Amino acid sequence: MVVRFLAGAALADIAAAWAREHRLLAPVREGQAVVYRPWAKDMHPFLGRPPTSSAKEALLPQTENLLTYTYRKDQDDLTRTEVFLAEPVPQEPTLLLGCRPCDARGRTLLDRVLLERGVKDNLYEARRKATLFVTLACERLENTCFCHWTGGGPMSEEGSDVLLFALEADGGGYAAKALTPAGEALLAPLPEASAAAQQELAQKLANPSAAGAEPGPAPDLSGAPQAFLARFDDMDFWMDQSARCLSCGVCTYLCPACSCFNITDENSGMKGKRLRTWDTCMSALYTLEGSGHNPRVSRAHRLRNRVGHKFCYHPQEFPGQGGGQPEFSCTGCGRCIKACPVSVDIRRVVQDLLEKGGRQ
Ligand code: SF4
Ligand code: SF4
């Protein structure tokens, strides 16, 4: 496949050209955060560090309208009421610029739950089909990154339509590698990478450590599902691990692989809409039943559920997907570690699970 070159100075122009045919979401700096925003004139995409928010929001928005409904009473027979439903299916071509390989892998994990479990989520499916990911390979790993623990890597191609590699050659820019036919069409206006650019790319791929992208050795997590089950009833362990947790839920909201949502109706007279909104299993309200009973009454129960979902229930439900290793519902993006106000570190929890005796 042809490798193309995107000059750094031309990034905003090519993004503007893509934005003419897509709803373009690009990362921009807002204070300390890097967040995706819809393309606007004079916007300057910021690719200098991984976005604070995850790519999930392009496919599974924080809030979306599932349907609108209208009641109409039969004026000749007032005991009869008709209900009219309208379901908005999202079809707008969308392009997410500047996500990282861990985010693109999140797309595969969301597919498992929302497309491959027997019942397809038709809104997610429509958005999924209409959305392209232009991903930037990571050059500098942050101390919270652990994508290689869970089957990914800083230059992983999984889930992306285009993978960009930052280059110094030819005045600085990006080698652009198309990974799907849609990605190839996107790159068609760009020139082929020069021999110097291709050589620099080949060196990076052959020696990622020189580029700062060689992760250290990864612990073997293949025993995590069994270790979790063995620790399931050890509430002292879970109370210890969750002692600092504030139940704020930011770890799940920022996670590219978390997909839990709540559904609420907003009624206004004879019409209304049904909304889907991100939910979090770290909240006490998540499992609060109408009777007042709550099966996950403490933070320890809730952290246990979050860790168990990612490192036990997911690999049990989707066996054989990780290429020899269990597939976890975690891409190792490290966002939950970075954003947690009290520094709960999911790597530490899983390692403690695996260590004989754990932390007691
Ligand atoms: S659990 Fe944490 S590290 Fe894993 S994908 Fe979710 S946010 Fe990233
Ligand atoms: S971000 Fe930290 S404090 Fe907030 S719910 Fe998650 S683990 Fe608990």
pLDDT per residue over 20-51, tens digit each?
Answer: 999 999 999 999 999 999 999 889 899 999 99
Q: Compute, in angstroms, the gap from residue 223 CA to the centroid of ligand 2.
A: 25
Question: Is the pTM here over 0.85, yes or no?
Answer: yes
- Is the predicted pLDDT of residue 359 greater than 70, yes or no? no
- Is the predicted pLDDT of residue 211 greater than 80, yes or no? no
* Ligand number nearest to the C-alpha of 53: 1
- Is the predicted pLDDT of residue 250 greater than 80, yes or no? yes
If you take atom 1 of ligand 2, which residue's CA is the nearest one?
340
- Which class for 14: exposed (0-12), middle (13-18), buried (19 or more C-beta within 10 A)? buried
pLDDT at 174: 97
pLDDT, tens digit (0-9, with 9 covering 90-100), for 273-312:
999 999 999 999 999 999 999 999 999 999 999 999 999 9
> Is the residue at 248 inside a domain?
yes
Q: Compute, in angstroms, the gap from residue 84 CA to the centroid of ligand 2.
A: 41
> pLDDT band at 320, cuts 50/70/90?
confident
- Is the predicted pLDDT of residue 213 greater than 90, yes or no? no
> Is the residue at 359 inside a domain?
no
Name the residue of 238, 245, 346 whose CB sits within 8 Å of the most ligand 2 atoms, as the mutation to test its pocket: 245
> pLDDT band at 216, cuts 50/70/90?
confident
**What is the dihedral sign for C-alpha 306, 310, 315, 317?**
positive
> Is the residue at 251 inside a domain?
yes
Q: Compute, in angstroms, the gap from residue 304 CA to the centroid of ligand 2.
A: 12
> Is the residue at 286 inside a domain?
yes
| Alpha-carbon dihedral 353, 357, 358, 360, rounded to 10 degrees | 130
Determine how β-strand 131-136 pairs with β-strand 162-167. parallel
Q: Residue 61, Cα to own-chain centre: how many angstroms?
A: 11
Angle at 31 between CA 26 and CA 35, to 5 degrees: 25
147 contact partners, CB below 8 Å, separation of at least 6: 101, 102, 105, 153, 154, 156, 215, 331, 332, 333
> Is the residue at 360 inside a domain?
no
- Is the predicted pLDDT of residue 146 greater than 50, yes or no? yes
Mean pLDDT in residue range 151-167: 95
Q: Compute, in angstroms, the gap from residue 297 CA to the centroid of ligand 2.
A: 16
> Is the residue at 224 inside a domain?
yes
> Is the residue at 74 inside a domain?
yes
Separation CA 273–CA 295 (nearest Å)? 30
Contact 255 CB / ligand 2 (< 6 Å): no
Question: What proportion of the chain, given as a percentage, has pLDDT over 90?
Answer: 87
Mean pLDDT in residue range 334-345: 97
* Ligand number nearest to the C-alpha of 104: 1
> Range of 35's domain?
3-354
Angle at 172 between CA 168 and CA 176, to 5 degrees: 90
- Is the predicted pLDDT of residue 358 greater than 60, yes or no? no
* Ligand number nearest to the C-alpha of 331: 1
Please report the atom of ligand 2 found closest to the CA of residue 282: 5
Residue found by looking up tokens 């879970």 in the block: 238
| pLDDT, mean over the chain | 93
pLDDT at 314: 97
> Is the residue at 340 inside a domain?
yes
Most confident residue range from 153-167, 200-214, 308-322: 153-167
What is the number of domains present in the chain? 1
